[in-house]
Structure 1
Amino acid sequence: MSAADSEIERVDVLIVGGGPVGLITAYQLARNLPSPHKIKIIEKYAKSSQDQYGRAITLFPRSSEMLDQLGLADELAQQCFACRQTVNYDKNGREVPGRGWSFMENMKDTQWDFALVLRQKYQEEIFRQALKRHAVELEAPLALVEVKILDGVGPNGYRILATLEDGNTKAKRTVKCKYLVGADGGRSFVRRAMNIPFDGTSSEDKWVRVDGVIETDLPKPRTYCAIESPTHGNVLWAALDHGATRIGFAFTAERQRTYEVFDEEAAVKEAIASVKPFSLSFKQVDWWTIYVVGQRIARSFFVEDCVFLAGDACHTHSSGAAQGMNTGMHDAVNLGWKLSLVLQGLAKPDLLQTYETERLPNVQRLINYDKDISRLMTMQLPENWTGDPNADPNEILGTVMAEAATFSSGLGIFYEPDSTLNINSGSGHFTVQPGHRAPDVGLKKPGTFEPTRLQKITPNIARFYIVAFAGDVTKTKPLLSAFTTALEKLPWLADAESPISRISIFSGLGPSAYESLGGYPFGKVFYDDDQSAHERYGVDKNKGAVFVLRPDGWVGTVMALGGTAAGGLEEYFKKFLTMDTTAKL
Structure 2
Amino acid sequence: MKVDVLIVGAGPAGLMAGAWMARTGVKTLIIDQKPCRTQSGHADGIESRTLEILDSFGIGEGVWRDSNRTIELSLWYQQQGVLQREAVMQNCNPGLSRYQECTLGQGKIEQRLLDLIHAHDCVEVQWNTSPVDLRVNIPGEYRIEMQIQTVQEVEIKTIHAKYLLGCDGAHSWVRERLGLRLEGDKMDEHWGVFDAIPITDFPDIRKRCIVRSPVGHLMVIPREARLVRCYVQLDCRTAAEFKKNYHADILVKLVATILQPYRFEASQLEWSTIYTVGQRLCQTLSMHNRVFLAGDAIHTHSPKAGQGMNVSMQDTFNLGWKLAAVLKGQASARILRTYEVERLAVAVRLVEFDKRMVQAVCGRTLNAHTRNSILQEENSSASGLTARYCPSLLTVPRGDLAANLTVGMRFPSTPVFCQSDARPWHLQQLLQSTGAWHLLVFGGNLSAVSQMKRVERLAAAVADHHLGILSAYLIHCASRQEVDLMDLPALFRPFDASHGYDYWKVFADRQPSVSSHGPGEAYRFYGVGEEGCVVLLRPDQHVSFIGSLEDINSIVVIFTSIGWNDRDS
The residue that corresponds to 1:485 in the other structure is 457
Q: 1:513 to 1:145 in 2, by over 3 A?
A: farther
Deviation string, structure 1 residues 195-220 (Cα, Å, up to 9, x no partner): 12321121211111111111111113
For 1:110 and 1:18, the matched residues in 2 are separated by 28
The residue that corresponds to 1:18 in the other structure is 10
Does residue 535 of structure 2 align to residue 547 of structure 1?
yes
- More displaced, 405-414 or 363-372? 405-414
What letter matches 1:46 in structure 2?
P
SS in 1 for 2:187: strand
The residue that corresponds to 1:88 in the other structure is 75
For 2:84 and 2:109, the matched residues in 1 are separated by 35
Does residue 52 of structure 2 align to residue 65 of structure 1?
yes
Match of 1:120 among 106, 119, 126: 106
SS in 1 for 2:421: coil
The residue that corresponds to 2:143 in the other structure is 159
For 1:484 and 1:299, the matched residues in 2 are separated by 48
What letter matches 2:524 in structure 1?
E
1:182-261 mapped onto 2 (5 Å cutoff): 182-233=166-217, 235-253=218-236, 255-256=238-239, 261=244
Contact 1:492 1:579 in 2 (8 A): no
For 2:492 and 2:228, the matched residues in 1 are separated by 51
Contact 2:417 2:509 in 1 (8 A): yes
Match of 2:20 among 20, 23, 28: 28
Q: State the shift of 1:280 in Å.
A: 0.8
Contact 1:222 1:239 in 2 (8 A): yes
SS in 1 for 2:428: coil
Q: State the shift of 1:340 in Å.
A: 0.9
SS in 2 for 1:90: strand
The residue that corresponds to 1:454 in the other structure is 427
Does residue 128 of structure 2 align to residue 141 of structure 1?
yes
Match of 1:507 among 467, 472, 477: 477
The residue that corresponds to 2:502 in the other structure is none
Q: 1:545 to 1:362 in 2, by over 3 A?
A: same
The residue that corresponds to 1:528 in the other structure is 509
For 2:267 and 2:429, the matched residues in 1 are separated by 42
Does residue 542 of structure 2 align to residue 572 of structure 1?
no
For structure 1, the residue ranges without an aligned partner over 5 or more in a row are: 1-8, 381-390
Deviation string, structure 1 residues 73-102 (Cα, Å, up to 9, x no partner): 12212321222232222224433236xxx4
1:33-432 mapped onto 2 (5 Å cutoff): 33=25, 37-47=26-36, 51-91=38-78, 92-97=82-87, 102=89, 104-112=91-99, 114-135=100-121, 136-153=123-140, 157-233=141-217, 235-253=218-236, 255-256=238-239, 261=244, 263-379=247-363, 391-392=365-366, 396-416=370-390, 418-428=391-401, 430-432=403-405
- More displaced, 394-403 or 438-447? 394-403
For 1:210 and 1:412, the matched residues in 2 are separated by 31
Q: 1:544 to 1:238 in 2, by over 3 A?
A: same
Q: State the shift of 1:485 in Å.
A: 2.1
For 1:146 and 1:460, the matched residues in 2 are separated by 34
The residue that corresponds to 1:558 in the other structure is 546
Contact 1:445 1:526 in 2 (8 A): yes
Contact 1:504 1:521 in 2 (8 A): no
Contact 1:87 1:225 in 2 (8 A): yes
For 2:5 and 2:447, the matched residues in 1 are separated by 50
The residue that corresponds to 1:5 in the other structure is none
The residue that corresponds to 1:538 in the other structure is 527
What letter matches 1:401 in structure 2?
L
For 1:578 and 1:146, the matched residues in 2 are separated by 35
Q: 1:398 to 1:518 in 2, by over 3 A?
A: closer
Contact 1:229 1:276 in 2 (8 A): no
Q: 1:551 to 1:518 in 2, by over 3 A?
A: closer
What letter matches 2:510 in structure 1?
D
Deviation string, structure 1 residues 296-331 (Cα, Å, up to 9, x no partner): 111211111110111111111111111001101110
Q: State the shift of 1:189 in Å.
A: 0.5
Deviation string, structure 1 residues 312-359 (Cα, Å, up to 9, x no partner): 111111111110011011101101111111110001100111111111
Contact 1:484 1:522 in 2 (8 A): no
Q: 1:423 to 1:479 in 2, by over 3 A?
A: farther
For 1:349 and 1:132, the matched residues in 2 are separated by 28
SS in 1 for 2:535: strand
SS in 1 for 2:125: coil
Q: State the shift of 1:68 in Å.
A: 0.5
1:429-448 mapped onto 2 (5 Å cutoff): 430-448=403-421
Q: Normalising to structure 2: TM-score of the pair?
A: 0.90
What letter matches 1:124 in structure 2?
E
Q: State the shift of 1:274 in Å.
A: 3.1
For 2:491 and 2:435, the matched residues in 1 are separated by 24
What letter matches 1:43 in structure 2?
D
Contact 2:447 2:483 in 1 (8 A): no
What letter matches 1:528 in structure 2?
D
Q: State the shift of 1:439 in Å.
A: 1.0
Q: State the shift of 1:427 in Å.
A: 4.9
Contact 2:401 2:527 in 1 (8 A): no
Contact 1:470 1:506 in 2 (8 A): yes
SS in 2 for 1:96: strand
Contact 2:415 2:427 in 1 (8 A): yes
Contact 1:214 1:245 in 2 (8 A): yes
- More displaced, 235-244 or 69-78? 69-78
Q: State the shift of 1:60 in Å.
A: 0.8
What letter matches 1:425 in structure 2?
R
SS in 1 for 2:343: helix
- More displaced, 319-328 or 270-279? 270-279
Aligned-residue sequence identity (percent) comes to 26
- More displaced, 87-96 or 444-453? 87-96
SS in 1 for 2:472: strand
Q: State the shift of 1:28 in Å.
A: 1.1
For 1:577 and 1:276, the matched residues in 2 are separated by 64
Q: State the shift of 1:393 in Å.
A: 6.1
What letter matches 2:5 in structure 1?
V
For 1:254 and 1:379, the matched residues in 2 are separated by 21
Deviation string, structure 1 residues 170-199 (Cα, Å, up to 9, x no partner): 421001000011110000001111112321
Q: State the shift of 1:264 in Å.
A: 2.0
For structure 2, the residue ranges without an aligned partner over 5 or more in a row are: 494-504, 512-519
Q: State the shift of 1:469 in Å.
A: 0.9
Contact 2:446 2:483 in 1 (8 A): no
Q: State the shift of 1:446 in Å.
A: 1.8
What letter matches 2:422 in structure 1?
F
- More displaced, 254-263 or 404-413? 254-263
For 2:392 and 2:554, the matched residues in 1 are separated by 13
Q: 1:357 to 1:266 in 2, by over 3 A?
A: same
SS in 2 for 1:331: helix
Contact 1:427 1:560 in 2 (8 A): no
For 2:185 and 2:75, the matched residues in 1 are separated by 30
Q: State the shift of 1:560 in Å.
A: 2.4
What letter matches 1:120 in structure 2?
Q
